[in-house]
């Protein structure tokens, strides 16, 4: 639903990322990475996570939260649930969803600086 709302369809979403374009230098035969590697579905959600982070840094927290949520869904559908690192990555993305939602709510309610949510409250830190 969020992909359709923000991008129309998944193809429009993935075409935003340079490594998904046919003109990307890594898609030539003399490059170490193969086109198959670059078009891996994981690259799509990694690109979406970078886009979410850009919106987060710009203060577009509601949009960032929705992009994080799309990325979480994409991760969940493509990950190996028995791999602990995949599960941790999904949990990390979901922490970003909750953090950005809290920031958007804080901004919407025009609460004071003392009520501002901090990353540590959501299991996120700069470490």
CA distances from 107 to 91, 92, 104, 117 (A): 24, 23, 5, 10
pLDDT band for 126, please (50, 70, 90 cuts): low
Nearest Cα neighbor of 25 from 13, 12, 38 is 38
Q: What is the pLDDT of residues 50-73, one digit of tens each?
A: 889 999 999 999 999 999 998 898
Q: What is the pLDDT of residues 18-55, one digit of tens each?
A: 555 556 555 555 544 455 555 555 666 788 888 899 99
Give this prediction's pTM.
0.70
CA torsion, points 34, 36, 39, 42, in degrees to nearest 10? -100
Q: What is the pLDDT of residues 70-104, one digit of tens each?
A: 889 888 888 888 999 989 999 999 999 999 999 99
Burial 50-63 (b: 16+ CB within 10 A, else e): ebbeebbeeebbeb
């Amino acid at each position: 639903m969020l992909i359709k709302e923000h991008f129309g369809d998944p193809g429009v979403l993935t075409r935003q990322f340079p490594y998904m374009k046919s003109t990307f230098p890594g898609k030539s035969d003399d490059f170490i990475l193969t086109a198959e590697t670059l078009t891996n579905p994981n690259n799509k959600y990694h690109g979406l996570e970078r886009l979410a982070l850009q919106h987060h840094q710009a203060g577009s927290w509601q949009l960032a939260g929705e992009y994080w949520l799309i990325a979480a869904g994409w991760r969940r559908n493509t990950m190996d649930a028995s791999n602990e690192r995949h599960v941790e990555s999904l949990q990390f993305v979901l922490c970003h969803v909750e953090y950005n939602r809290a920031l958007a709510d804080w901004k919407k309610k025009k609460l004071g600086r003392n009520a501002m949510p901090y990353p540590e409250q959501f299991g996120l830190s700069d470490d």
